[in-house]
Amino acid sequence: MKFLLTSITLLSLCVTLRAQETPAVKPATDGRVWGALIFATNDAAQLTGGREQPPPNLPKLNERLGKVFPFKHFEILGQHQQDIFREFESWVVPSQDLFLKIDSKGPADQGGVNLHLQVWREQQVLVKSDAVLRAGSPLFIGGPAWKSGRLIFVLSLDRK
């Protein structure tokens, strides 16, 4: 059964790939987010050597992470800027190991956007959450331990 479902999905995606050759109408959005997978550790030797920087609207990110998580070093492993689609799910995938599915529930009353979030680790959903995300106020998600540190997912709403 699962093989059949996967086959159908693959077939659909092949059609999609061909359809992408023609311009499509851009779906309506409720904002745009920056998502990143960050490795936190006290052992500098374990860092991968990445030099990625957070966006300018998220200043002093490492310093802020250090207020919450007891680590000295924070390294961006991957990052992804993604539109939040109003009527369709949005994926924020800075890594295949830990990624996020977002469903918009519309603008929040006093700014920001209402979201349903799902944090996935491969094929396992770690947490489902309803949240209000506002610009300038990032969400830090403390994920699984790795090596002698921890993986952290950061989600931030861009200012319009």
Partner 1 sequence: MKPPSEDHDLIRWLDGEMNATEHAAFETRLKTDPALANEAQVLRALSVGIRSHLPADMTVPHADFFNSQIQVRIGQLEIDNERAQATAAPGDLLRWLRQPWLTAAGAVALAVLGLVLLRPIAETSANSFILSSYTPKIGVQAHAFHDEAADATVLMLDGLDAIPADRKVSGIHVKHSETEPQLAATTLYDVAGGRLLMISRDATGLPLIWSNSPRG
Considering only residues 11 to 30 of the shown chain, the ones binding partner 1 according to CB under 8 A are 12-13, 16-17, 19-20, 24, 27
Taking the C-alpha atoms of residue 41 and residue 44, their distance in angstroms, rounded to an integer, is 7
Restricting to residues 54-73, name those near partner 1 by CB under 8 A: 64-65, 67-68
Residue 101: CB minimum distance to partner 1, A: 7
Binding of partner 1 by 84 (CB under 8 A): no
Q: Residue count of the chain, please give it.
A: 160
Question: Count residues contacting partner 1 (CB under 8 A)?
Answer: 78
Query: In terms of CB distance, is 2 or 160 closer to partner 1?
Result: 2
Q: In the 8-state DSSP scheme, what is residue 159?
A: P
Residue 74: CB minimum distance to partner 1, A: 12
* CA–centroid distance for 121 within its chain: 12
Query: In terms of CB distance, is 6 or 42 closer to partner 1?
Result: 6
Binding of partner 1 by 143 (CB under 8 A): yes
Restricting to residues 112-131, name those near partner 1 by CB under 8 A: 112, 119-121, 123-131
Give whole-number Cα distances, 17 to 13, 14, 20, in Å: 6, 5, 5
Binding of partner 1 by 74 (CB under 8 A): no
3-class state of residue 67 by DSSP: helix
- Residue 18's φ and ψ, nearest 5 degrees, are -70, -40
Taking the C-alpha atoms of residue 66 and residue 71, their distance in angstroms, rounded to an integer, is 6
